[in-house]
Amino acid sequence: MDDLMALFPEIDEKASCDKARQKLKEYRHYARLAGRPLTDLKSPSMDGMPKAQSFQNGTEAALVARLDKVLDAEAHLGVIDNALALCKFQSKWLLYFCYCTPEELEMWQVAERMGLGSVGTAKRQKTAALFEFAESYPNHELIVLRNETSKQLISD
């Protein structure tokens, strides 16, 4: 029996849901980063004359740094969107209303939009949806195994 447990380690569903929740809480932040317009940046000007010493164009550096942030934010959003797309229809929309709308919604508003009978039902379904999202996330990055949780508790 112990050999079987070694092959299939137990998943800590609560810790996995916590990691999924933290990842989804970043969604609005990444959306703001990816959606910010770049109109305040100007193209660097060149006078055509050779210079003896090299220099870094401050505008170019700012543009590159900004573009890196935007691309990173878009990549994070893409991964989250793909993981949500792999979830069941109900789970996807429940998580969308909880974490991905422009404004934060209260749980009663989520329950109302989803046509669920009560806030308690919405909370139970949200927990299941978070675990489903954790399972759908690439490379199982959000899945926490029981022995990992025990090791973390011992080391703390």
Q: Which amino acid, one-letter code, is at 79?
A: V
Q: Which amino acid, one-letter code, is at 123?
A: K
Q: pLDDT at position 54, please? A: 52
| Residue in the block written with tokens 């991964």 | 79
| Residue in the block written with tokens 């789970």 | 91
HSE of 125, CA atoms in CB hemisphere, 13 A = 24
Q: Name the pLDDT band for 75 (thresholds 50, 70, 90).
A: very high
Q: Which amino acid, one-letter code, is at 91?
A: S
CA distance readout (Å), 5 to 62, 96, 140, 145, 146 = 52, 35, 19, 12, 11
Q: Residue 59 in contact with residue 38, Cβ under 8 Å?
A: no
Give the whole-angstrom CA distance, residue 69 versus residue 81.
Answer: 18
pLDDT in tens, 15-68: 999 999 999 999 998 988 888 432 333 333 445 555 555 556 777 777 777 777
pTM of structure: 0.73
Query: Between residues 129 and 147, which one has the greater pLDDT?
Result: 129
Q: pLDDT at position 51, please? A: 55
29: Cβ–Cβ under 8 A, 6 or more apart, which residues?
A: 73
What is the percentage of the chain residues whose pLDDT exceeds 90?
A: 55
Domain boundaries defined on the chain: 11-35+57-155
